[in-house]
């Protein structure tokens, strides 16, 4: 059993970097390991225009350590008012690589999300024409649909139709959580792929609910039963190029998670690659980590693979209980637990 693992430098294809003090915490944690990251646009107010994306790009650059080679890849937040002209302008500018679909009120800062998917047909057509990817938070928000069933309902009610109607549109089904989603991605053509988070590979809903509610394990889409966790593990262990690294790392201060209405999100950036190495080794798929982390994402996005490398060493260490954000504590994912791998 080797005690070192060197891979091509990875990218994070789904991350929340936030703004202000949180931005200055999250960006260095991400730039520590990743060369590029798809920056989510659900700020307050959201990133809805190419000008918004350029301004946010500059703020991220301002929070990036001088010695880092980190490059943020920008996204637009789709609303009912996103036009084909906005899409074409964004693509021409070069900074924006994708547009993010949040069904209205599906997750944190999604109140401005889409209420009428059919109204975006012309926008989706333009995205396919100019090569911008559609990134999907795949959950319905109808009150009558059980929270554990919302991902499958989205596939049945919406995603199947989008994929069939726009076969040239590249679609990333983000942070998949169910056997149904994994099977949908496997069965779809080459223009459909998915990101998988460390929390959905490592945990199931027992880790959220057994022995008391664990607010720092609460994310959306919510953790599912163990048969779905196993399906995700099998998907990444298969070596399929349809699955790649997207942490959905989502920083929230401790008091906002431990409240009467705790917010959704797991902050995994401080140990992201190490968390993936931990679970990939546990499921006997450590040899598949490099493609998952470093090859499949850029290949799907049509971007060059990185050329630098990152080395992990077997060196047990404990994730700290909290991370400081301008004097306020934030609890990282897997806090207080020991990982076997550490980035050298």
Give the pLDDT of residue 137.
96
pTM metric for this prediction: 0.97
Task: Give the residue from 64, 60, 63 showing the smallest Cα distance to 41.
Answer: 60
Distance CA 87, CA 282 (A): 42
Q: Strand 4-8: give its sheet, edge to edge.
A: 4-8, 309-318, 338-343
Among residues 20, 156, 248, 287, the one annotated as catalytic is 248
Mean per-residue pLDDT, 238-244:
98
Binding-site positions for Zn(2+): 14, 16, 100, 137, 175, 248
Given a cut of 70, whether residue 109 has pLDDT beyond it is no
Given a cut of 80, whether residue 108 has pLDDT beyond it is no
Distance CA 253, CA 274 (A): 22
DSSP-derived letter for residue 65 is -
Q: Sorting pLDDT into bands at 50, 70 and 90, what band is 299?
A: very high
Distance CA 143, CA 198 (A): 28
Asked if 248 is an active-site residue, the reply is: yes
Given a cut of 90, whether residue 307 has pLDDT beyond it is yes
Q: Kindly provide the b/e burial profile for residues 201-234, where b requires at least 16 CB atoms within 10 angstroms of the residue's own CB.
A: bbbbbeebeeeeeebbbbbbbbbbeeebbebbbe
Residue 30 to residues 166, 174, 198, 279, 289, Cα–Cα distance (Å): 33, 19, 15, 19, 18
DSSP-derived letter for residue 167 is T
Binding-site positions for substrate: 16-18, 42, 137, 220, 252, 264
Mean per-residue pLDDT, 241-248:
98
C-alpha count within 13 angstroms, C-beta hemisphere, residue 83: 4
């Amino acid at each position: 059993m080797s005690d070192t693992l060197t891979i091509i430098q990875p990218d994070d294809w789904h991350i929340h970097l936030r703004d202000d003090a949180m931005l200055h915490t999250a960006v260095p944690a991400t730039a520590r390991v990743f060369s590029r990251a798809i920056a989510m646009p659900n700020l307050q107010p959201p990133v809805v225009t190419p000008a918004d994306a350029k301004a946010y790009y500059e703020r991220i650059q301002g929070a990036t350590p001088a010695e880092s080679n980190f490059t943020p890849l920008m996204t637009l937040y789709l609303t009912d008012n996103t036009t084909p002209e906005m899409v074409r302008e964004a693509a021409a500018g070069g900074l924006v690589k994708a547009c993010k679909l949040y069904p209205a009120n599906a997750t944190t800062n999604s109140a401005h999300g889409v209420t009428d998917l059919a109204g975006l047909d012309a926008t989706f057509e333009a995205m396919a024409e100019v090569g911008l990817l559609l990134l999907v938070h795949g959950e319905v928000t109808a009150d009558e649909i059980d929270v554990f069933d919302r991902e499958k309902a989205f596939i049945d009610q919406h995603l199947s139709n989008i994929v069939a109607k726009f076969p040239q549109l590249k679609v990333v089904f983000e942070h998949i959580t169910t056997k149904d989603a994994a099977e949908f991605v496997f069965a779809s053509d080459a223009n459909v792929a998915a990101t998988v988070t460390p929390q959905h590979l490592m945990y199931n809903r027992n880790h959220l609910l057994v022995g008391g509610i664990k607010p720092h394990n609460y994310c959306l889409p919510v953790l599912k039963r163990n048969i779905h966790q196993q399906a995700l593990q099998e998907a990444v262990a298969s070596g399929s190029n349809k699955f790649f690294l997207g942490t959905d790392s989502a920083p929230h201060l401790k008091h906002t998670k431990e409240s009467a209405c705790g917010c959704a999100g797991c902050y995994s950036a401080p140990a992201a690659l190490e968390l993936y190495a931990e679970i990939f080794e546990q499921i006997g798929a450590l040899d598949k980590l490099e493609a998952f982390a470093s090859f499949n994402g850029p290949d799907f996005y049509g971007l060059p693979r990185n050329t630098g490398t990152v080395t992990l060493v077997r060196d047990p260490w404990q994730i700290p209980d909290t991370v400081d954000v301008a004097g306020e504590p934030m609890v990282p994912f897997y806090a207080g637990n020991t990982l076997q791998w550490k980035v050298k």
